[in-house]
């Protein structure tokens, strides 16, 4: 947890002189979706923090697990208390790199993003396609990928095993603005 903090702050403040190389959002969107025969479960987080260093293409993302909003209060409660144990692991983080960032432009806006996703204290390498929209006043990243619940040592009680998918679809949309 401390490590990712350092990465975010290093990305933000290390090259203090080149602040225009940093793009940041505090209102990024990440959601996950679980489909099962019994029910569909979706949760949205609109308070995701993400920083891109445009020189290196490095990216650091942090989000609070308790910021995931569910339709049903009971699901949100079970999610935080029993499954991801937010009192122990309040944040999920991603630290990685946008591949060939400097080659991206309006025509060529598809690339890959690789890095380490940490949820519930468990790390997992992620490599996924990403759409990068570069404008003068912003950089928007969009994409989705699948993760296995088991990879993050999240225990789902057998009584609700049929309600929750083994594989969860994660969708993200992060609209960064220049960091001043």
Closer Cβ to other proteins, 1 or 55, answer by number: 1
CA distance 153 to 11: 29
Contact between 62 and 91 (Cβ < 8 Å): yes
Which residues, in sequence order, are CB contacts of 26 under 8 Å at separation 6+?
47, 48, 49
Give the residue with the Cβ less far from other proteins, 56 or 80. Answer: 80
CB closer to other proteins out of 77 and 110: 77
**Closer CB to other proteins, residue 70 or residue 145?**
70
SS3 9: helix
Q: Select 54 or 86, whichever has its Cβ closest to other proteins.
A: 86
User: Minimal distance in Å, beta carbon 86 to other proteins?
Assistant: 8
Q: String of b and e for 51-90 (b: at least 16 CB within 10 Å)? A: bbbbeebbbbbbbebbbbebeeeebeebbbeebbbbeebe
Nearest approach, Cβ of residue 136 and other proteins (Å): 20
User: In the bound complex, what is the minimum distance in angstroms from residue 148's beta carbon to other proteins?
Assistant: 25
Min dist. Cβ of residue 166 to other proteins (A): 22
C-alpha distances in Å from residue 87, one per residue of 65, 82, 83: 10, 10, 11
Beta carbons within 8 Å of 24's beta carbon, 6+ residues apart: 12, 49, 50, 51, 52, 176, 177, 178, 179
Which residues contact other proteins (rule: CB under 8 A)? 8, 26-27, 46-47, 49, 62-64, 66-67, 69, 72-74, 76, 80, 86-87, 90-91
Rank residues 21 and 44 by Cβ distance to other proteins and give the closer one: 44
Which segments of 14-165 does DSSP mark as H helices, in order? 73-78
Tell me how far, at minimum, the Cβ of 24 lies from other proteins, in Å.
9
What is the smallest separation between the CB atom of 63 and other proteins, expressed in angstroms? 8
């Amino acid at each position: 947890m401390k490590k990712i903090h350092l990465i975010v702050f290093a990305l933000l403040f290390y090259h203090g002189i080149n602040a225009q190389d940093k793009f940041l959002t505090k209102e990024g969107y990440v959601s996950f979706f679980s489909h099962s025969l019994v029910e569909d479960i979706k949760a949205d987080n609109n308070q995701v923090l993400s920083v891109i260093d445009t020189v290196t293409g490095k990216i650091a993302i942090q989000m609070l697990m308790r910021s995931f909003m569910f339709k049903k209060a009971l699901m949100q409660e079970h999610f935080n208390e029993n499954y991801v144990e937010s009192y122990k692991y309040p944040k999920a983080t991603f630290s990685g790199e946008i591949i060939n960032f400097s080659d991206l432009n309006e025509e060529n806006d598809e690339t890959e993003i690789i890095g380490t996703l940490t949820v519930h204290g468990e790390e997992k390498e992620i490599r996924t396609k990403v759409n990068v929209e570069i404008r003068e006043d912003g950089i928007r990243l969009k994409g989705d990928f699948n993760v296995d619940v088991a990879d993050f040592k999240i225990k789902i009680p057998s009584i609700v095993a049929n309600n929750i998918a083994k594989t969860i679809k994660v969708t993200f949309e992060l609209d960064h603005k220049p960091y001043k």
